[in-house]
Amino acid sequence: MNNNCTDTDALLLGDRPKVLVGMSGGVDSSITAYLLRQQGYYTEGLSFILWGSERSEATGSSSACCSAASLNDAKATALALGIKHSLLDVRLEFMQQVIEPFIESYKRGFTPNPCVLCNQYVKFPYLLSEADARGFDYIATGHYAVIERQPEPSLLTASDRIKDQSYFLYVLNRQTLSRLLFPLGWLNKTQVKELARDLTLPCCMRPESQDICFVDNTGYRGFLTTYLKDAQAAGPIVDMGGKTIGTHNGLYAYTIGQRRGIGIAAKEPLYVIDVDISSNTLIVGPKSFGLKGGFKVNKLNWLVPVTNVPELVHVKFRSTMRPTPASIKITSDNTIEVIMHTLQWSPAPGQSAVLYVGDKVIGGGEVVEERRRGSVSPPQTPSQGDSSP
């Protein structure tokens, strides 16, 4: 596919900066393209063929950002805005870099974050690669976050704290940040929806895309049922004293911190405290056992020089929680220990732990090991700031 500008296009461009917008077909990326065009950028849209658009149509899942319906909406929106639009097939890369690690994580008893994997290995690298190949100055997406340019490219939280997506972007590097535009960073979701309705764009009636774009209406457990046939063996459910109190139907269907779906009546609610893959055992207990004092983190990506990393930070290990005070200790080139200042609910191996100083993201990595309850510094009462199940 040849997306190079014609001679006429070149004359019309003049000295206008060129931006390639990742368009999913939803409201956020559509308004991103509109705003950038209004700001004077020469704008084109690019949509990725990521995963099973035919499958999503067959199952009636049209809200996913990788469905055939979403790609059609992206094309229609680009036409309505008067900008060029093209498709890029990255299904193989998406399978290798996102789907397969997602499945493998559950086989290991981890809780993966596929959106982070997609941002790190597919969405932004391929968007930037296409921009370079086509001679574009910038790339843009519909994420709710802010890029600060001076004194160096930095990632900040969005003004709409409810929609803030900086948590999912900590894996980007500073070179990418220098080429990246987030026009929605200073807007809230209501403003964006109202603008789409006022413009009567094809996207204005689309529902919000689901958390995991490649699963259908059966959810991630239904998805894993298809791909983890060998991981559905029944096994024991034990309490914190090691007593068998029930039987599970496959560890893949449980995540640490989960309450619903355990299926055992008890005097007080039971939560998933741990999963033991080696013995195919599910460990459950009262909520108090899920409160942890910290965790180790590896696969680190720093957005500031390591020498500038302070000891006191705020941390999120779930996208929906508020950043919480913590101390960090750098134990190796690729590992840190996070010590929470208050006991926190159920950090799980595989989750992303993102570090903040004020509104600035300074880095993050993957939770690999939890500190047991009681080892907090300084000792305080459990935090009420997090959203427990």
Alpha carbon separation from 3 to 46, 57, 82, 135, 381 (Å, rounded)? 10, 28, 15, 10, 59
| CB 118, CB 98: distance < 8 Å | yes
213 is catalytic: yes
Q: Which residues contact 14 (CB under 8 A, 6 or more apart)?
A: none
Q: State how beta strands 312-316 and 271-276 pair.
A: unpaired
Q: How many CB atoms lie within 10 A of CB 111?
A: 22
Buried b (16+ CB within 10 A) or exposed e, 86-95: bebebeebbe
Count the Cβ atoms, other than its own, within 10 Å of residue 231.
18
Distance in angstroms (rounded) separating the CA atoms of residues 203 and 31: 9
Name the active-site residue from 115, 118, 203, 204: 118
Cα–Cα distance measured from residue 294 to residue 36, given in angstroms and rounded to the nearest whole number = 42
If DSSP codes are grouped into helix, strand and coil, which group holds residue 185? coil
Say whether 33 sits in a helix, a strand or coil. helix
| 5 is an active site residue | no
| Residues in CB range of 139: below 8 A, 6 or more apart | 19, 20, 21, 22, 124, 127, 128, 131, 179, 180, 181
Angle CA 68–72–73, to nearest 5: 115
Which among 65, 115, 204, 213 is annotated as catalytic? 213
- CA 49 to CA 70: how far, in whole Å? 10
Cβ atoms of residues 26 and 20 within 8 Å: no
Residue 381, number of CB atoms within 10 A of its CB: 7
Does residue 347 have a cis peptide bond before it, meaning omega lies within 30 degrees of 0? Answer: no
Active site members:
118, 213
